[in-house]
Amino acid sequence: MGYLVKASFNAEPRAYALEGIKTDVEAKLLPATALVRHEKQGFWYSVDQLLGKEPVPSFRYRCKHCKTWLIARKIDVGLQLPCEKCGKMPKVPNIEREARFMMVTGGVSAALGILVTVCHYYAPLPSAIAVGSRFNLGFIFLILAGLFQFYQGWSRPSQLRLKTPQDSK
């Protein structure tokens, strides 16, 4: 479980353990502006955020094993943190990426449903299918489900909230 730390944006990263980061920051061997990421993560953030000295948005997510709601910081995305209920180690999801995925799939489903419904209304494709039949209702359901999915994705990032070190106590 190692971290990579670089003193500035263009500096060469060095491997660190969490304890080592704390010690070196206290000893002023690392500047507060130093950047850090876990070796499992693909994005950098500040050492102050890691150590809880600077507020970081946090969000709720569900343990994929026992479905308990858990809270993680945005900088924990990609890490495996212990679930307080079942003790397993679910990975912290990237809710912003999930939200984009939901918006795209929901938007495409709704657009497809609208297209088919409009086409069928003006030019019934198989003439045996009457307007208002189950065929139409199926696509109206697809539109509603798509819009609902889109809305869920659109509203997800608003679940992020800034958390300061004082709040977590």
Interface with Zn ion, residue 111, by CB under 5 A: no
Strand segments, DSSP code E, in the chain are 3-6, 14-16, 35-38, 45-46, 56-62, 69-73, 161-163
Closer by beta carbon to Zn ion, 11 or else 86: 86
- Name every residue whose Cβ is closer than 8 Å to that of residue 18 and which is 6 or more positions away in sequence: 1, 3
Closer by beta carbon to Zn ion, 14 or else 88: 88
Interface with Zn ion, residue 70, by CB under 5 A: no
Interface with Zn ion, residue 92, by CB under 5 A: no
One residue of 15, 29, 86, 144 binding Zn ion per CB under 5 A: 86
One residue of 66, 71, 79, 160 binding Zn ion per CB under 5 A: 66
Cα 164–chain centre separation: 20
The answer to whether 69 touches 62, Cβ cutoff 8 Å, is yes
Tell me which residues touch Zn ion (CB under 5 A).
63, 65-66, 68, 83, 85-86
